[in-house]
Amino acid sequence: MASRPELILASASPRRLALLNQIGIEPEHLVPAHIDETPEKGELPRKLAQRLADQKAITAQHKAKTTGIAGNALVLAADTVVAVGRRILPKAETMEEASECLRVLSGRSHRVFTAVTMLTPSGQMRKRLVETRIRFKRLSAREIESYLASAEWRDKAGGYAIQGIAGAFVLKLQGSYSAVVGLPLNETVGLLAGEGYPVHFNWLNQSNLTAV
């Protein structure tokens, strides 16, 4: 009987690791994939999210092979893009970028696209893309200034983290909360289970531990 595949998470994001841990999954390897995330000219938000997730998975798989890590591993990568219409908001690196994002999002609806790509040991690529719609309250100048001071926005798509303080800005969310955080759990479980990763076995083990 073939041994179960190992899992490589192509990310250094503590949020994505925490989401996997939430559903009882602990990747055997963390292989961050650092790529150029600049949108191409005229590129639509959903296309950007999927392209970056694909590139991260390919980059991490190559890196893992060259370092001798688990040739039979599944490689899981994801990317999240926040957009207002066709306008792609940056992953805020400066206070000025974060401030501009918050002012654009204030009192408006926006979309969050999170793409998940999984590469199998045989080279097959499985993909899922999740779209979530969010509406923010109208933010006061004081709320924006206070949020900027928290530094929670740093390196976050759209300049906010929904799982933190910015959760108080959300009036309505239609779609996947976990996708906005960084990894759509329903779709991720489906991809992993479809390739023989023992997701549900881990749940049984968790149940046994809870009963003790």
Residues 166-203 have pLDDT tens digits of 999 999 999 999 999 999 999 999 999 999 888 877 67
Percentage with pLDDT > 70 across the chain? 94
Can you list the domains of the chain with their CATH numbers?
7-211 (3.90.950.10)
Buried b (16+ CB within 10 A) or exposed e, 15-28: bbbebbeebbbebe
Mean residue pLDDT of the chain comes to 92
Question: By the 8 A CB rule, do 73 and 7 touch?
Answer: yes
Least confident interval from 34-43, 98-107, 138-147, 192-201 = 192-201
pTM to 2 decimal places:
0.91
23 has a pLDDT exceeding 50: yes
1 has a pLDDT exceeding 90: no
Q: How far apart are CA 32 and CA 91, in angstroms?
A: 17
Taking only the tens place, the pLDDT of each residue in 56-107 is 999 999 999 888 887 789 999 999 999 999 999 999 999 999 999 999 999 9
206 has a pLDDT exceeding 70: no
54 is catalytic: no
Three-state secondary structure readout of 176-204:
CHHHHHCCCHHHHHHHHHHCCCCHHHHHH
